[in-house]
């Protein structure tokens, strides 16, 4: 299976970081996640995208692989309030973005932006909490569903 050179670079970085054996299945699942870095995929969608590339990986293997990647902190699991959990790569350039989630159509829009200074200054210090990253989930209605 072919991946773009950028995807290969990301994959190499991940392989270095990860202390797991890079099996064929893991590679394919990772490359799907890398190619869809701006999306949030369910296990079923990952399955379908693999199929599009003329490969078949069973759902059990997909779930098992995702569990390992979750465990390694390479993937994070989202609950956007709809039925299926969604997964996305947790790599440096993808960190600290927020999600606007439409309660009607389920659309997820990514936005980035730093929290205001006083969040760190006041709230975190008050709680004695060291923040390494953050993600906000903002629920509401998208442009199309608003009316």
Numbered residues of the known binding site for Fe cation:
117
- Spatial CA neighbour of 76 closest among 50, 108, 41: 41
Closer of 56 and 114 to Zn ion (Cβ):
114
- Spatial CA neighbour of 136 closest among 82, 80, 86, 89: 80
Q: Single out the residue of 105, 123, 131, 136 in contact with Zn ion (rule: CB under 5 A).
A: 105
Tell whether residue 142 is a contact of Zn ion (CB under 5 A): yes
What CA dihedral angle connects 46, 61, 67 and 26, to 10 degrees? -70
Residue 11 beta carbon to Zn ion: minimum distance, rounded to whole angstroms: 19
Closer of 11 and 142 to Zn ion (Cβ):
142
How many binding residues for Zn ion (CB under 5 A)? Answer: 8
User: Pattern of binders to Zn ion over 48-87, x per CB under 5 A?
Assistant: ----------------------------------------
Supply φ then ψ for residue 33, to 5 degrees: -65, -35
Q: Single out the residue of 104, 122, 125, 137 in contact with Zn ion (rule: CB under 5 A).
A: 104
Tell whether residue 131 is a contact of Zn ion (CB under 5 A): no
Binding residues: 102, 105, 117, 142, 145
Helices 59-71 and 43-52, packing angle to 10 deg: 120
In the complex, the residues that contact Zn ion under the rule CB under 5 A are: 88, 102, 104-105, 107, 110, 142, 145
């Amino acid at each position: 299976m072919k991946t773009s050179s950028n995807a290969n670079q990301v994959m190499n970085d991940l392989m270095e970081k990860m202390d797991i054996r890079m099996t064929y299945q893991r590679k394919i699942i990772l490359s799907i996640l890398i190619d869809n870095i701006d999306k949030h995929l369910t296990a079923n969608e990952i399955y379908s995208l693999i199929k599009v590339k003329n490969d078949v990986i069973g759902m059990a293997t997909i779930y098992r692989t995702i569990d390992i990647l979750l465990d390694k902190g390479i993937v994070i699991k989202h609950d956007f309030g709809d039925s299926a959990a969604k997964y996305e790569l947790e790599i440096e350039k993808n960190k600290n973005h927020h999600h606007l989630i439409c309660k009607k159509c389920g659309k997820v829009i990514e936005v980035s932006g730093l929290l205001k200074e006083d969040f760190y200054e006041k709230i975190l210090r008050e709680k004695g909490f060291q923040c390494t990253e953050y993600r906000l989930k903002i629920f509401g209605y998208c442009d199309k569903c608003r009316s």
